[in-house]
Structure formats: C-alpha cells, structure tokens
Amino acid sequence: MNLTLRIWRQKGPEDKGQMVTYPVQDVSPDMSFLEMLDVLNERLILDGEEPVAFDHDCREGICGMCSLMINGEAHGPQRGTTACQLHMRQFSDGDTIDIEPWRARAFPVVKDLVVNRNAFDQIIAAGGYVTAPTGSAPEAHSTPVAKANADAAFESAACIGCGACVAACPNGSGMLFTAAKITQLSLLPQGQPERYTRVIGMVDAHDEAGFGGCTNIGECAAACPKGIPLNTIGRLNRDYLKATAKRAGTPGS
C-alpha cells in the first residue's frame, strides 16, 4: 500500500507544533502500525531528518506505552486493540492517516507523539496499593472471595494505564483509570482496611493533576483496549459517597 501520513511534530513542551505530511510506499498489510512508523523513521534518518518520537515498549498490548490518536480515535479504528497490535490491513491503499498524541491538559506533550503521563503515577501514589504486610503469596483458597467480586476485580486489574480513556473523553477525565485501580482493590478482602481513605485520596489526586470531571459520556469505555466497563466508575462513585459520609460522621455510613 501507498499511504499519506499527517503526523504531529513538536520539538518540545514549550514549542509550537504542527502537522507534517509524509508519504510512505510499499506498506505491507501484515505490518503493525508501529512497524510502519519504524519504516518511516528509518527513511527519515537516512535522509538526515529528525525521526518521529513515539512511545513504545512491549509491542504486545500489555505495557500501555503506545499512545496514539489515529484518525481521531485512541489507538485507531479497531476496538479492543492497542496501537502496537493494530495492523495495516485495517487501512486501504491511498489512505491519508492523521497521527497525533493524546490530547489532555494532564498529559502535556514532551516531543512529537510522546506525552508525559506522570499524572497517572500521582493517582497511584495516593492510594493504589495495600500497605498491610502480607508475607509470601498465600495459598490460593485460604481467603474466600465471591466469584462475582473476583471476576470484577480481575476485569479492573486488566487496565494497562495507557491513557486512551483520557484521550477519548471530551472532558479529559481520567476517571475510568482511577476507578479501575480503586475497584481492583475494593472488591477484595486485602483492600478493605484502606478502602475509603483510598478512594478519597485517589480521587483528590485525580482532580489535582488537572484531569476533567466525568459526565458519563462513555467514550472512555468505548476506547479502552482492555474493555473495562463504564459501571466501574459507578463502583467508584458509591465508595466515594460512603467515604465522604464516614468522614463527615454521618450516622449509619
């Protein structure tokens, strides 16, 4: 395939960026999207030009590093797929493809397609862990967990922290990420002692990091490559209401 790429180029956080057009030829439909960018960068280097900077690591849809808006969609047109697992067979000969970084106030551009996602680390540092010493791994059946809770916790734990939910949200909200990291602990016995201090701390960190508010539009769940459902945010909201009631000393909370 012969394609036209329009790629966001920006030298640094304080520089003004712009879309730059690059033609690419003889693209195999079996290439991954990132392999196609590798081919472009090899050509740019040979021509003495600056290669396009983009995040990547495992290229297996696990690490959450790849973060591209492809034709206005987080990770591209294929649902449930990260950009590194997206293959060029999803496109056609002669297509023009727009490639941009995540767009959110909490994710400032570092260079080209690379953004700073340290805001997610701040949310995790505010409570996304269990502090109780647990020793070595316990025997699997020593702590009974209802299957529905175990399944929901596992579903939330699938979050890879890529930030697609933030990029897709018109408000730039990171609430689906925050809810997933809270829910995976709040549904399990190990997460109960800090359940309510955790939700307050992590939601406060979310807001302080500059993320927008959630208005239940649902674009986050639609863009999530791991299929984390929107009702995960509902679980967070219930815990947050209980936590604020406990903090205020409301009877029966």
Q: Could you give the number of structural domains in the chain? A: 2
Picking from 84, 111, 138, the residue at the C-terminal end of a domain is 111
Domain CATH for 154: 1.10.1060.10
Does 105 share its domain with 136?
A: no
Does 80 share its domain with 148?
A: no
Does 198 share its domain with 146?
A: yes
* The predicted structure's pLDDT at residue 250: 67
Picking from 85, 111, 137, the residue at the C-terminal end of a domain is 111
Residues 8 and 22: their CA atoms lie apart, in Å, by 11
Does 104 share its domain with 148?
A: no
Report if residue 252 sits inside a domain: no
Picking from 87, 111, 135, the residue at the C-terminal end of a domain is 111
Q: Could you write out the DSSP letters of every residue in 89-118?
A: GGS-TT-EEEEE---BTTB-EEETTEE--H
* The predicted structure's pLDDT at residue 226: 97
* The predicted structure's pLDDT at residue 124: 97
Does 28 share its domain with 84?
A: yes
Phi and psi angles of residue 110, each rounded to the nearest 5 degrees, phi first: -90, -50
Which domain does 91 fall in, by range?
3-111
Report if residue 128 sits inside a domain: yes
The series of mean pLDDT values per 10 residues for the chain, 253 residues long, is 98 95 97 97 97 95 94 96 96 98 96 97 95 76 89 96 97 98 94 94 97 96 97 96 86 60
Task: Identify any residues that bridge with 98 across adjacent strands, giving them in sequence order.
Answer: 6
Report if residue 54 sits inside a domain: yes
Does 126 share its domain with 228?
A: yes
* The predicted structure's pLDDT at residue 253: 57
* The predicted structure's pLDDT at residue 20: 98
Does 143 share its domain with 160?
A: yes
Does 106 share its domain with 124?
A: no
Report if residue 98 sits inside a domain: yes
Residues 220 and 164: their CA atoms lie apart, in Å, by 7
Does 83 share its domain with 149?
A: no
3-state secondary structure of 120: helix
